Amino acid sequence: MVSKRIAQETFDAAVRENIEEFAMGPDEAVKEAVEQFESQGVDLSNIVKTAPKVSADGSQEPTHDILQTLSDLQESVASSRPQEVSAYLTRFCDQCKQDKACRFLAAQKGAYPIIFTAWKLATAGDQGLLLQSLNALSVLTDGQPDLLDTQGLQLLVATLTRNADEADLTCSGIRCVRHACLKHEQNRQDLVKAGVLPLLTGAITHHGHHADVVREACCALRVMTFDDDIRVPFGHAHNHAKMIVQENKGLKVLIEATK
């Protein structure tokens, strides 16, 4: 049985009604709204279950913290203020890690193009900002691989290629690859065509003493051999496995990594 779903706006309207019409406090209003919708069989797993907050000066409509962060990030990116971008990217990551519903809401409200623009800004030479941008992309695409578009895919491969010597950047970039490919056959095929396999095996060889990099690269290689996208009748899992072993010496690389 498929669970019913509602939009975030519908949930927020119910919370607002509880506050305005029934004089409930924010926490009580949210609890009542949750009970109301769950009793109707609604799946609230992708709903941010907090009351929208009024801005400090009261000049804006009440909004959720993640959307306020997204708005602040967009403004700082548009104004090319790297320090502010860095702070908001960190806040964005923290909020998304706390609740997957925040990731879902952020994606619905245009987070990807904002993160992508910050990412491009960072490629001018700010390594710290580049790492934060990749971390934000990784968090956002976790469970939402459809967000990665062609431009993002190309920039991801280019970023991994240019920063192959940087362990932290490589680790975060490969995590983005893994998230983008899990349950997404087209992303897998496109990334393989773009040359991601030698980057993954190369990362294991080059950063063999960095456990996090090796772990992420191994996980990403494994995902490349999955056939887990129910939208696609036939995947390239077998072909990818052959390419990893025959063209990129994957078996030898993995054996060496265990020594």
> Do 44 and 153 fall into the same domain?
no
Q: Is residue 232 part of a domain?
A: yes
Q: Residue 75: inside a domain, yes or no? A: no
Distances from the Cα of 1 to the Cαs of 45, 46, 230, in angstroms? 16, 18, 18
Q: Do both 154 and 253 map to the same domain? A: yes
User: Of 32, 52, 72, which residue is a domain's last?
Assistant: 52
What is the number of structural domains in the chain?
2
In a domain, 104, yes or no: no
Taking only the tens place, the pLDDT of each residue in 215-227 is 999 999 999 999 9
Would residue 100 count as lying in a domain? no
**pLDDT for residue 57:** 55
Residue 76 lies in a domain: no
231: DSSP letter: T
Asked if 119 and 158 touch (Cβ cutoff 8 Å), the reply is no
Within a domain: 231: yes
> Residue ranges of the chain with pLDDT lower than 70?
1-2, 55-60
Residues 150 and 42 in one domain: no
- In tens, the pLDDT along 112-159 reads 999 999 999 999 889 999 999 999 999 999 999 999 999 999 999 999
Among 52, 72, 95, give the residue marking a domain's end. 52
In a domain? residue 94: no
Neighbours of 238 (CB within 10 A): 11
Q: Which residue range(s) make up the domain with 42?
A: 1-52
Q: Residue 245 has which token pair?
A: 């072993």
- Is residue 60 in some structural domain? no
Amino acid sitting at position 249: K
Q: What is the DSSP string of 135-154?
A: HHHHHHHTT-GGG--HHHHH
